[in-house]
Amino acid sequence: MRQEQETAKIITTLLDRGVSSLDEETLDRLAAARNKAVAAMPQRALGAEREFAGIGKFVAAYFHEHRLQASMLVLLGMLLGIFILLQGIQIHEPVGTDALLLASDLPPEAYADKGFDTWLKQSSRH
Amino acid sequence: MATSQELADFLTQVERRAFKQAAYAVRDDHAALDVVQDAMLKLTQSYGARPASEFPMLFQRILQNTIRDHFRRQKVRNLWTTLFSSFSSDEEDDRDPLETLSPQQEDTAVNPQAQLEQSQTLAIIEAALRDLPLRQREAFLLRYWEDMDVAETAAAMGCSQGSVKTHCSRAVHALAAALRKKGVEL
């Protein structure tokens, strides 16, 4: 493995020397290609570049750089909000159920008795 | 978000090696320049708004895909050429296919610097690199020349890290063997 890496290093060093001796025509064509590519940079990106050039450049660039983390933070906040909301509903739900049971004409045991529901249906048919 | 200056700096930094990578693959300098130009344009048009730190990985991936696109187009062109040549005369059939490769290989020989030992070694390496299978050459150049780690190389090539290690190992052994065969000891 080490031998392999050493061999690779020697080879890439030689390749680097080959790269530094490229002919002028090739270098000119590469420079032209580069300039064409830079000129083709989307206007949106260039517009944002100018926009960021003001006082808020650093802040905007920071949030753009860390947009993944910012998105995750917003998502986490939303999930937390939903969790708190659900907790609130679950807390209030038993109170409503308890009030219904107490106000009902039937005793609470009747709701737990599965046979009662069947009996009620049968008796209502007669 | 990258500025146009950052983009220009990045391209200046990688363009020569990108050209060489493409040239080893497509074996034609003009086609290699076209490949590099396409890759540069794709990077700026599609990913120009990305942070500059993402450029190396994106560019390598685009470059490898553009090289593959070149081969696909060439394959289609060759198919049509074969179809049409079957209607033409048989005179060309007598031609040795190796003749088409010879001018490429003689490029280094007509260069005056080819007299130097180092240049000769470089020529041998470049020829051996051209002869490597596509995936082995990609893995070797990305991992060792572009100095990417195994994970980055795997991501750029769209394969597993194990495959990268295998390709790299085979490539180094093949290059070393090619050099030994020519009497060059590393």
Q: Do B44 and A40 touch (CB under 8 A)?
A: yes
State pTM to two decimals.
0.61
Using the predicted structure, report yes or no on whether residue A68 has a pLDDT greater than 70.
Answer: yes
A24: tokens are 């002028």
What does the alpha-carbon distance between residue B126 and residue B100 come to, in Å, rounded to a whole number? Answer: 18
User: Binning pLDDT at 50, 70 and 90, where does residue B69 land?
Assistant: very high
Using the predicted structure, report yes or no on whether residue B101 has a pLDDT greater than 50.
Answer: no
Using the predicted structure, report yes or no on whether residue B98 has a pLDDT greater than 60.
Answer: no
Neighbours of B56 (CB within 10 A): 17
Q: With an 8 Å Cβ cutoff, is B11 touching chain A?
A: yes
Looking at residue B104, its pLDDT comes to 44
What does the alpha-carbon distance between residue B82 and residue B92 come to, in Å, rounded to a whole number? Answer: 12
Write out chain A residues lying below 8 Å of B13, CB-based: none
Looking at residue B76, its pLDDT comes to 86
Q: With an 8 Å Cβ cutoff, is A69 touching chain B?
A: no
Looking at residue B38, its pLDDT comes to 95
In A, minimum Cα distance to B173 occurs at A4
Looking at residue A126, its pLDDT comes to 67
Using the predicted structure, report yes or no on whether residue B160 has a pLDDT greater than 70.
Answer: yes
What does the alpha-carbon distance between residue B29 and residue B16 come to, in Å, rounded to a whole number? Answer: 12
ipTM confidence: 0.72
Q: With an 8 Å Cβ cutoff, is B35 touching chain A?
A: no
For an interface test with B, which of A34, A35, A57, A68 has the most B Cβ atoms less than 10 Å from its Cβ?
A34
Determine which of A30-34, A50-54, B90-94, B162-166 has the lowest per-residue pLDDT on average.
B90-94
Q: Do A40 and B43 touch (CB under 8 A)?
A: no
Pick from B3, B11, B121: CB nearest A37 = B11
Q: Do A45 and B8 touch (CB under 8 A)?
A: no
DSSP result, A51-103: HTTSTTHHHHHHHHHTHHHHHHHHHHHHHHHHHHHHHHHHHHHHHHHHHHHHH
Q: With an 8 Å Cβ cutoff, is B110 touching chain A?
A: no
Burial readout A52-81 (b: 16 or more C-beta within 10 A, e: otherwise): beeeeeeeeeeeeeeeeeeeeeeeeeeeee
Write out chain A residues lying below 8 Å of B2, CB-based: 45
- Return the residue matching tokens 């320049």: B33
Looking at residue A55, its pLDDT comes to 61
Terminal-residue alpha carbon distance, chain A:
90
User: Binning pLDDT at 50, 70 and 90, where does residue B43 land?
Assistant: very high
- Arithmetic mean of pLDDT, B102-117: 51
Q: Do A15 and B49 touch (CB under 8 A)?
A: no
Looking at residue B23, its pLDDT comes to 92
Pick from A18, A48, A52: CB nearest B122 = A18
Pick from A10, A33, A49: CB nearest B186 = A10
Determine which of A21-30, A55-64, B49-58, B107-116 has the lowest per-residue pLDDT on average.
B107-116
Write out chain B residues lying below 8 Å of A41, CB-based: 4, 7, 44-45, 48
Q: With an 8 Å Cβ cutoff, is B3 touching chain A?
A: yes
Q: With an 8 Å Cβ cutoff, is B52 touching chain A?
A: no
Percent of chain B at pLDDT > 70 equals 82
- Arithmetic mean of pLDDT, B83-110: 50
Q: What is the mean pLDDT of chain B?
A: 83
Specify whether the CB–CB gap between B182 and B172 falls below 8 A.
Answer: no
Using the predicted structure, report yes or no on whether residue A45 has a pLDDT greater than 80.
Answer: no
